[in-house]
Amino acid sequence: MDELDSAIVTQLQLDARVSNRELARRLGIAPSTCLERVRALRERGVITGYRAELDLAKLNRRVQALVSAQVRPLSRSVIDSFQEAVAALPEVLEVLVVAGGDDFWIRVAVQDNERLHAFLVDHLAKRREVVGFRTLVVFQQSSKKVLTALPD
């Protein structure tokens, strides 16, 4: 990634719906150059997709929580099956496999605290491989950070 690629990535993170012509204008390059660079970033797997940011409160998911979970036995098959099953739940926004005292961090968004409790009891506590979990309720969330490539 060179400086132009980094600038393209930064602009697309700020507004993924920007037209190629406008993106090229912002960067001071020809539209054809811009189009080719974006295509190359997609082909190299730097850009993996485009997503809409949603207001969770307007979707009636006002309560967010981070749930840490420990599973046993700690094997690839248990990790993979747990990750797949939990990721498929409608309350789950993100599943992270982590190192340390916890095996997973699960980000959930639900309507209210009752639904959060139901999620924990009905979906996590009932799973045989789950030996423990802890929940942190999110009070506030800052906006996403724009990432840039780090030097080699």
CATH code of the domain in which 115 resides: 3.30.70.920
Q: Are residues 93 and 130 in the same domain?
A: yes
Per residue in 66-106, pLDDT (tens digit) is 999 999 999 999 999 999 999 999 999 999 999 999 999 99
Domain count, the chain: 2
Output the pLDDT for position 9. 96
C-alpha 34/C-alpha 7 separation (Å) is 11
User: Does 88 reside within a domain?
Assistant: yes
Q: Residues 105-129: what's their mean pLDDT?
A: 98
Q: Are residues 34 and 106 in the same domain?
A: no
The side-by-side arrangement of strands in the sheet containing 63-71 is 92-97, 104-110, 63-71, 130-138
Q: Which pLDDT band holds residue 133 (cuts at 50, 70, 90)?
A: very high
Amino acid residing at 42: R
Of 150, 2, 22, 3, the C-alpha closest to 12 is 22
pTM: 0.84
Output the pLDDT for position 95. 98
Q: Are residues 85 and 24 in the same domain?
A: no
Q: Are residues 115 and 67 in the same domain?
A: yes
Q: What is the dihedral of CA 10, 15, 19, 22, to 10 degrees?
A: -60
Q: Write out the residue range of the structural domain in which residue 16 sits.
A: 3-43
**Neighbouring residues of 7: CB distance < 8 A, sequence distance ≥ 6:** 27
Q: Which pLDDT band holds residue 32 (cuts at 50, 70, 90)?
A: very high
User: Does 50 reside within a domain?
Assistant: no
Output the pLDDT for position 148. 79
Output the pLDDT for position 47. 97
Backbone φ and ψ of 45, nearest 5°: 85, 10
User: Does 103 reside within a domain?
Assistant: yes
The answer to whether 7 and 38 have CB atoms below 8 angstroms apart is no
Q: Are residues 93 and 63 in the same domain?
A: yes
Q: Which pLDDT band holds residue 147 (cuts at 50, 70, 90)?
A: confident
Count Cβ atoms below 10 Å from residue 6 Cβ, excluding itself. 15
The yes-or-no verdict on residue 144 having pLDDT over 80 is no
User: Does 148 reside within a domain?
Assistant: no
